[in-house]
Amino acid sequence: MTRQAILVAASLATLSLLAACGPGEQAPSAPAAPAPPPLTDAERTAMLAALPAPFAQADLENGRAVFARCRSCHSIAPNGPNMTGPNLNGVIGRVAGTHAGFNYSPALKAAGFTWDADKVDHWLENPRTFLAGNKMSFPGLPDATDRRDVVAYLNVEGAARTAP
C-alpha cells in the first residue's frame, strides 16, 4: 500500500470509531461550581448598611442600571466568565490584576494594591488617569452619585459568595 492509501484507511477507521460514539456525545467535563442562592432583601439591606460612607447611602437599583454599561465587557455572577474585561464578582477585596484566567495589562499586574470602595470609585471616574498603561477603554463615569451607586452594587451584588 502506498503511504497515501494508508493515511486514507486510517482516517476512515478513525471516522468509523467516532461515529460509533453517537451524535452529540462528548467527553465529560468538570461540573460547574454551584451558584450561591440569590441574596434576600434583608441581606442586601444589611450589606449596604455595613458599607462605609457615602456608599451606605447608595441606591442599589441605580447601581444596577448604571452597571448595565459595564455588562458588555464584565460579568458579575459568581463563577461568571471573563469577557473583554475580567469577571467582577468579588472584585472588592481582590488584589488588582489577579483574577484567574484574565490577561491583564502589565500596569495592572504590577499595581500591587487591593481594590476597595474608594479605589473602585476613583477607577470608575476615569480608568485611564487612575492607572496609566491599563488597557480599559471605558471613558469613565463622571457623575459621583452614579459611581457611588455602582460601587455599592459591586459590594453587595458582586460580593464573593459561595454555595452552601
Tell me the average pLDDT across 150-157: 95
Give the domain range for residue 109. Answer: 36-156
Residue 149: is its pLDDT beyond 60?
A: yes
pLDDT score at 22 = 36
User: What is this structure's pTM?
Assistant: 0.77
Residue 78 counted as domain residue: yes
Residue matched to cell numbers 495592572: 108
Residue 98 counted as domain residue: yes
Residue 22 counted as domain residue: no
CATH classification at residue 84: 1.10.760.10
Residue positions counted in the chain: 164
Residue 18 counted as domain residue: no
87-111 pLDDT per residue, tens: 999 999 999 999 999 999 999 999 9
Residue 75 counted as domain residue: yes
Say how many domains are in the chain.
1
33-84 pLDDT per residue, tens: 677 788 899 999 999 999 999 999 999 999 999 999 999 999 999 889 999 9
